[in-house]
Structure 1
Amino acid sequence: MAEEQTVSLVDVLEENEELEEEASAVLAGSDSDLCSYPQGYVKRQALYACSTCTPKGGEPAGVCLACSYKCHEGHELFELYTKRNFRCDCGNRKFTELQCKLFPEKDELNTQNKYSQNFFGVYCTCSRPYPDPDDQVEDEMIQCVVCEDWLHGRHLGVVVPDGVELQEMICESCMNNNSFLWTYTAHLSVPAAAVEVKGEPNTNVPKEEEKGDDVMEPSCKRSREEAEPGCRLKELQEIGQKRVQSGAVFWPSAWRSKLCSCNTCKERLSAAGLSFLLDESDTVLAYENKGKSSEQRHQGPDPLMSALDNLNRVQQLEIIHGYNDMKTELKDFLQRFAAEGKVVTSEDIRQFFEQQQSRKRRRDDGRFYSP
């Protein structure tokens, strides 16, 4: 008889802890109780778009985490993950029939907010929803650090390198719009091989003629010849080493610190709206780490983990069985909300656990016994 595969309670709890950390990474950096509007254009925060209040064809709008809970309960929301330099729109002029419950005194519009197709629930160069019910291909979505759109790995024009979660990506369109960035690719970027996906032409990305290193942005006030002495960008241009200028570009950890920060380059980045590239704390990884640290400070030591040493094997197996039953039922419960695009509220969770408590205890003949 084959030996029954077992799993320890520690394994179960560690797996659950990983899932909680992923959620904390995005949500713990944002306040779930207070509208972020008084903070102005927040450096980075978790955002949502409400298709119930601002349907496709209307004006795009984004709401903060707290407003998604308190003002848009039961609405169809699109999760936008995080966006930079955004001010909560909830209840402003774009919401004709809704007033923000948390901070109603808002300006009519947030003129510095930037919007994209994401605010209507579509992503990538293929402009499809995520998850896409008509797409049977398993493919990860990767966010461009410049336009902050999410793109399918197969639509990037390059083979996605290993360890992509530790890197940042700039899509081909953003690279071409800021052609001076190509100068850095041969020296700073992760080597990538071009990829051709048959049967899926990427028709939404205009093919531009290859731009040389001498091409600068029209808004730049100084020419290459007038660049300051010691300009790293100019030094790299003079080396002349090039990489094929096509496809998305992946950048390794800490690549931003190696960009030139002379006055000329700062002006160029500012004119292109890319000053944030000189700020390493702007990265999603930095935001996630901050969220995890904040969550850990609030939680303190886990009393359940601390009590494990005091449980015998019978007690541990009993807890594992009950925990796995509860986790399966909770997953099914939450999937119903995900399928309907609804936000899970604290009241929904309370009702779930009330239903759990009202169920009968397991029958005695179903208990586990130690060998």
Structure 2
Amino acid sequence: MEGEEPVVSLVDVLEEDEELEEEASAVLGASDAEHCSYSQVYVKRQALYACGTCCPPGGAAAGVCLACSYKCHEGHQLYELYTKRNFRCDCGNSKFKDVTCKLNPDKEEVNSDNKYSHNFFGLYCTCSRPYPDPEDQVEDQMIQCVICEDWLHGRHLGAPVPDSVELQEMICESCMNHNQFLWTYAAQITVSDPEVKPGPDQPKEDPKQEPDEEPSCKRPRHQEEPEVKAEEGAELKEAGLKEGAGLKEEEPKGACRLKELQLIGQSRSQSGATFWPSGWRSRLCTCQDCQTLLSEAGSLFLLDEGDTVLAYETKGKSLERTNESAADPLMSALDRLNRVQQLELIHEYNDLKTELKDFLQRFASEGKVVTPDDIRQFFEQQQSRKRRRANGQLYSA
């Protein structure tokens, strides 16, 4: 009826709770909530926070780990930074005037290799606004640049955001310009770029070709590469089509994939953010010259697939599943029983799960709300059936 509050079943609540737990595990990325991460030195990736109470705007930027956000900054104004690469916990060092880390008080005055941005003061994007922004009424998503790790509004990227952006990585225009060589790769790899122009020796795109179809010179990594003879390889190089699919061991010694792409001459508009498909990092050249180029730009981490946020989130979800399995009371009980007892317990456990699911489904199908009395009655019936079974009495379901 109109005006009534929407009703959800217990099944809906449990499913939503599981989704929230999985999302939280992905965000925390297997970070330790009990021990300060300082002893791990510069952690590859971790859940990170900035304290606006201890380090307000105008002062020195600092970041604290997950455990310190709980133990040392409870009740403070915390900015959730999600994840930053190669960061060492600052909690209690010289940037904190009157705060001593409760978990690891013996720390150096500063962590010289940490990198900071306006994110540490709760500001984001090129517009340097907070998020959520109480003065901004425009619904917009925030996307993190994989190089500078700033979060930018979709409308401030200077380029349209393609669909399924959660499966891709974004590099903002500023970072693209700081790493000019990436524009060469962008003309070949980036997603949904309408301004890509073929080089003079390259065929124009077939209008009948499906949008997601990969040209033959850019085979997916999972496809087996055909054997190429030396003379055939020379012909491919002359044709400018020897980009390959990121198989590092297949590259001839001294070959530079970046130079080969530059010879192809395919270009695109060098403006706006760029969006890169999954696995794009494996297609970057790893020759010594290119590694030096990446290192000088401070972007050598782009060659590391484990640096991605996806890898970070997957690690968190995996650890959560492992912890759930280890903490399962059923599994703990099974370890203390013999084989016959284990089978009996598993049988009873499965019966209980099935009966509880059927019990809740009846409420859901009839549109009824499950009350505490209903749950209490269900378990009283289970206890009654268990006693009758123990007495050797038969009963019907």
**How would you bin the TM-score normalised by the shorter chain?**
0.7 to 0.9
**Could you say if the C-alpha distance between residues 76 and 321 of structure 1 is closer, same or farther in structure 2, counting changes exceeding 3 Å?**
farther
Shift of 1:72: 0.2
User: CA–CA distance in 1 between the matches of 2:294 and 2:370?
Assistant: 56
Query: CA-to-partner distance for each residue in 1:259-312, whole Å, 9 max, x for gaps?
Result: 000000000001111110000000000000000000100012878996541225
Identity %: 68
Letter of the 1:236 partner, please give it: L
Contact in 1 for aligned 2:29/2:46 (Cα 8 Å): no
Query: CA-to-partner distance for each residue in 1:216-255, whole Å, 9 max, x for gaps?
Result: xxxxxxxxxxxx8410000000000001111000000000
**Could you say if the C-alpha distance between residues 70 and 260 of structure 1 is closer, same or farther in structure 2, counting changes exceeding 3 Å?**
same
User: CA–CA distance in 1 between the matches of 2:142 and 2:93?
Assistant: 31
Contact in 1 for aligned 2:29/2:314 (Cα 8 Å): no
Contact in 1 for aligned 2:157/2:172 (Cα 8 Å): yes
User: CA–CA distance in 2 between the matches of 1:125 and 1:68?
Assistant: 27
| Alignment-derived partner of residue 37 in structure 1 | 38
Which structure 2 residues correspond to residues 1-371 of structure 1 after superposition, within 5 A?
Answer: 9-192=10-193, 229-300=254-325, 307-311=352-356, 312-313=358-359, 317=363, 321=369
User: CA–CA distance in 2 between the matches of 1:314 and 1:155?
Assistant: 47
Contact in 1 for aligned 2:10/2:370 (Cα 8 Å): no
**Could you say if the C-alpha distance between residues 244 and 35 of structure 1 is closer, same or farther in structure 2, counting changes exceeding 3 Å?**
same
Shift of 1:11: 4.0
**Could you say if the C-alpha distance between residues 157 and 302 of structure 1 is closer, same or farther in structure 2, counting changes exceeding 3 Å?**
farther
**Could you say if the C-alpha distance between residues 138 and 231 of structure 1 is closer, same or farther in structure 2, counting changes exceeding 3 Å?**
same
Query: CA-to-partner distance for each residue in 1:307-332, whole Å, 9 max, x for gaps?
Result: 541225369749x9469xxxxxxxxx
User: CA–CA distance in 2 between the matches of 1:61 and 1:322?
Assistant: 48
Query: CA-to-partner distance for each residue in 1:186-225, whole Å, 9 max, x for gaps?
Result: 111112358xxxxxxxxxxxxxxxxxxxxxxxxxxxxxxx
User: CA–CA distance in 1 between the matches of 2:188 and 2:360?
Assistant: 59
When the two chains are superposed, the root-mean-square deviation of aligned CA atoms in Å is 2.8
Letter of the 1:289 partner, please give it: T
Letter of the 2:319 partner, please give it: S
For normalisation by structure 1, the TM-score amounts to 0.73
Letter of the 1:126 partner, please give it: C
User: CA–CA distance in 1 between the matches of 2:370 and 2:298?
Assistant: 53
Contact in 1 for aligned 2:29/2:312 (Cα 8 Å): no
| Alignment-derived partner of residue 210 in structure 1 | none
User: CA–CA distance in 2 between the matches of 1:148 and 1:302?
Assistant: 37
Letter of the 1:56 partner, please give it: P
Helix, strand or coil for the counterpart of 1:45? strand
Contact in 2 for aligned 1:160/1:192 (Cα 8 Å): no
Shift of 1:17: 1.3
For normalisation by structure 2, the TM-score amounts to 0.69
User: CA–CA distance in 2 between the matches of 1:126 and 1:106?
Assistant: 35
Structure possessing the higher radius of gyration over alpha carbons: 2
User: CA–CA distance in 2 between the matches of 1:48 and 1:322?
Assistant: 40
Contact in 1 for aligned 2:61/2:121 (Cα 8 Å): yes
User: CA–CA distance in 1 between the matches of 2:303 and 2:23?
Assistant: 26
| Alignment-derived partner of residue 339 in structure 1 | none
Contact in 1 for aligned 2:28/2:47 (Cα 8 Å): yes
Shift of 1:48: 0.3
User: CA–CA distance in 1 between the matches of 2:61 and 2:175?
Assistant: 21
**Could you say if the C-alpha distance between residues 83 and 316 of structure 1 is closer, same or farther in structure 2, counting changes exceeding 3 Å?**
farther
Shift of 1:27: 1.2
Shift of 1:15: 2.5
Query: CA-to-partner distance for each residue in 1:55-78, whole Å, 9 max, x for gaps?
Result: 000000000000000000000000
Shift of 1:51: 0.6
User: CA–CA distance in 2 between the matches of 1:127 and 1:229?
Assistant: 44
Helix, strand or coil for the counterpart of 2:48? strand
Q: Which runs of 5+ in 1 are unaligned?
A: 195-227, 324-360, 364-371
User: CA–CA distance in 2 between the matches of 1:169 and 1:96?
Assistant: 37
Q: Which runs of 5+ in 2 are unaligned?
A: 196-252, 331-348, 375-397
Helix, strand or coil for the counterpart of 2:15? helix
Helix, strand or coil for the counterpart of 2:181? helix
Q: How many residues align?
A: 292
| Alignment-derived partner of residue 201 in structure 1 | none
User: CA–CA distance in 1 between the matches of 2:298 and 2:11?
Assistant: 47
User: CA–CA distance in 1 between the matches of 2:281 and 2:266?
Assistant: 19
Shift of 1:9: 4.3
User: CA–CA distance in 1 between the matches of 2:269 and 2:91?
Assistant: 44
Helix, strand or coil for the counterpart of 1:179? coil
**Could you say if the C-alpha distance between residues 264 and 26 of structure 1 is closer, same or farther in structure 2, counting changes exceeding 3 Å?**
same
